[in-house]
Amino acid sequence: MTTAPSKRPDRIAGMFDAIAPRYDLLNRVLSAGIDKRWRIQAIRSLGLTGRETLLDVCSGTADVALEARRTGAAARVLGVDFARAMLRIGVGKIAREGRTPEITLVQGDATNLPVLSESVDAVTVAFGIRNVERPEAACREMARTLRPGGRLAILEFGVPRIPGIAALYLWYFKYLLPKVGNAVSKHSSAYAYLPASVSTFPPPEVFCDILVAAGFTEIKAVPLTFGIVYLYTARRA
């Protein structure tokens, strides 16, 4: 049985700050480029019209925020993350694309979002909710910031349930991914943390219960790429 890793905010923020310079490269390499497709699916699931304000929690280097503007899904994006170095890279990417007026990044904690209640139309989280020490508190905060009827889309890693694929995936995740991550980022603990954090994150049915308790309805857990990733969608009651 895998022991749940420490998710103390200062530890996690420090870890992501350390790997920030290689974070985007490793995302592309370790997912074989599929991560962009997953983000696009999450944004499309929100059913936005291009006039809305989107809150991107655990925004990191702003990949979701930028995709939401490239596709014209949202008029404005506010990204929140507690890792300063990740945000700094995100700010640079936003500036290079000339999208500074449309996207704002701020440092903040997912369990205490620096956002007014009922002030945004949609919320996204891409591969960040499992890194939050108290995910149930973060889900309540996201519900608080959403206007009634607002939409939520969360991407998070899962474990495939098809036997052969599950075995191959778990081997990759346990043995190969940490070696590649360490070789590129020079930060061994970060890519040992990743498989541990995924294997100890609540299974889809349990995480859906957390969303219900936070005040969401119409909750779905959709497996993507054989269940390597789940797309959770919901509506704020």
- Give the per-residue pLDDT at 26: 83
- Give the per-residue pLDDT at 174: 81
Splitting the chain (237 residues) into consecutive groups of 10 residues, what average pLDDT does each group show? 80 90 86 93 97 98 98 97 97 98 97 98 97 97 98 95 86 80 72 84 96 98 95 97
In a 13 Å sphere around the CA of 106, the CA atoms on its Cβ side amount to 11
- Fill in the amino acid letter for 232: Y
- Give the per-residue pLDDT at 211: 98
Asked if residue 30 lies in contact with residue 180, where contact means CB atoms within 8 angstroms, the answer is yes
Asked if residue 105 lies in contact with residue 91, where contact means CB atoms within 8 angstroms, the answer is yes
- Fill in the amino acid letter for 207: F
* Domains in the chain: boundaries: 9-236
End-to-end CA distance of the chain: give it in Å, rounded. 37
- Give the per-residue pLDDT at 163: 85
| Other CB atoms within 10 Å distance of the CB of residue 189 | 15
Q: Is the dihedral of CA 72, 50, 77, 45 positive or negative?
A: negative
In the CATH scheme, what is the code of domain 9-236? 3.40.50.150
Q: Over the stretch 75-120, which tens digit does the pLDDT of each residue have?
A: 999 999 999 999 999 999 999 999 999 999 999 999 999 999 999 9
- Give the per-residue pLDDT at 188: 66
